[in-house]
């Protein structure tokens, strides 16, 4: 659990939980270089969601209340993960019309189907 918390802290510190926008100023502690291609960006998205899965599952298994779950759920605004072949099949990976709000919070609330990310399929190679 300690290592999972470290992984969560590191991923949040690197800003993996937020959608990168070129127009907004970044407030993350460690600025990662922009992803070179769609696959790298997809790996970052999948990596963060995998860390989150481990964090939540181990929290339930060990019955340790997660103090950051509520805060984290409200701050995450990266899209839902896609299959890896979807990342690979897109030459230029852009998300459009993804609202700047949480994805997990409305999912747990009244709206069972939050707006999911849509790939810009115009640039499918």
Partner 1 sequence: MFLDDPTATNVEVASSTLALHVKAATLFERASYLGVQWKSGMVNHTQRRMILTYIRPNRLGRTYTGLDCRSRLTSIHKRVFFLRELIRYAYRYGPQATCYIHDCASGHDPASQRFCRKQCSVKSEVSRGRQSSRYRDRKHS
Tokens at residue 125, please? 């190679």
Q: Minimal distance in Å, beta carbon 16 to partner 1?
A: 14
Q: Minimal distance in Å, beta carbon 31 to partner 1?
A: 25
Residues 74-103 that bind partner 1 (CB under 8 A): 79-83, 86
Q: Which residue has the tokens 């409305």?
A: 106
Sign, Cα dihedral of 51, 57, 59, 61? negative
Q: Minimal distance in Å, beta carbon 24 to partner 1?
A: 24
User: Of 119, 116, 92, which is closest to residue 106 (Cα–Cα)?
Assistant: 116
Taking CB under 8 A as the rule, does residue 69 contact partner 1? yes
Distance, CA of 22 to CA of 56 (rounded, Å): 31
* Chain residues that interact with partner 1, rule: CB under 8 A: 46, 49-50, 52-53, 56-57, 59-61, 63, 65-66, 69, 73, 79-83, 86, 104, 107-108, 112-113, 116-117
């Amino acid at each position: 659990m300690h290592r999972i918390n470290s992984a969560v802290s590191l991923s949040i510190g690197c800003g993996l939980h937020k959608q990168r926008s070129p127009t907004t100023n970044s407030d993350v502690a460690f600025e990662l270089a922009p992803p070179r291609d769609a696959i790298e960006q997809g790996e970052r998205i999948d990596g963060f969601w995998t860390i989150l899965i481990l964090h939540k599952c181990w929290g339930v298994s060990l019955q340790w209340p997660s103090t950051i779950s509520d805060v984290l759920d409200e701050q995450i605004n990266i899209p839902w993960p896609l299959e890896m072949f979807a990342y690979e099949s897109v030459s230029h990976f852009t998300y459009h019309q993804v609202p700047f709000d949480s994805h997990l919070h409305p999912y747990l609330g009244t709206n069972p189907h939050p707006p999911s990310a849509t790939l810009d399929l115009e640039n499918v190679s």
